[in-house]
Amino acid sequence: MPKLNSIVPWHSQVPVIIPPKVEKAEVMVRDYALTLRDSDRAALADAFQNHHYGMGSGHLWRRAMSRLRARLAKLGMQFLAEMLNREDISESTPPDTALTDSDTIYLAEALGFVDITGAQRLRTSFETVAHFDREEATEGMSVAGQSKCTT
């Protein structure tokens, strides 16, 4: 009897686990961000060590989205264009110019690259990074329209 080919569902690689004892962001980046280039790891560790969190977070976000777009693009840009109902994307369109961060997160979730919780974390991170990129963002935290309460 001939052996039937079995279909093996795609599954993610085991993620790198950062031990709870590692508390410093620069140590996390230097020792655990293994897929980043050496120059990126050094720049990010330096940014976090010097309290340039916005700059470091923004750079890390852009690198993560670029890598996720590249992985999605391996499925074919025309396929992604059909999923997004975008006629302006062709097979030769570079993913970094065609896919927004929102598109990338949507596709990653829809295609099983991340689960529902991972997608929510990506959306929340995107909103946070986008907020601090805006001109009107402030470093502090204040409540608009707050009035003094007297008793």
Q: In the chain, what are the domain boundaries? A: 19-51, 61-133
Q: How confident is the model at residue 27 (pLDDT cuts 50, 70, 90)?
A: confident
Query: What per-residue confidence (pLDDT) applies to 48?
Result: 83
* 126 contacts 105 by C-beta, under 8 angstroms: yes
Rounded mean pLDDT of 92-111? 95
Task: State the chain's mean pLDDT as an integer.
Answer: 83
Residue 105's closest CA among 115, 94, 91? 115
pTM over 0.85: no
Q: How confident is the model at residue 13 (pLDDT cuts 50, 70, 90)?
A: low
pLDDT at 151 over 80: no
- Between CA 50 and CA 58 the distance in angstroms is 15
Span 50-88, pLDDT tens digits = 888 888 888 889 999 999 999 999 999 999 999 999 999
Tokens of 125: 């991170």
- Between CA 27 and CA 83 the distance in angstroms is 39
pLDDT at 136 over 90: no
* 91 contacts 52 by C-beta, under 8 angstroms: no
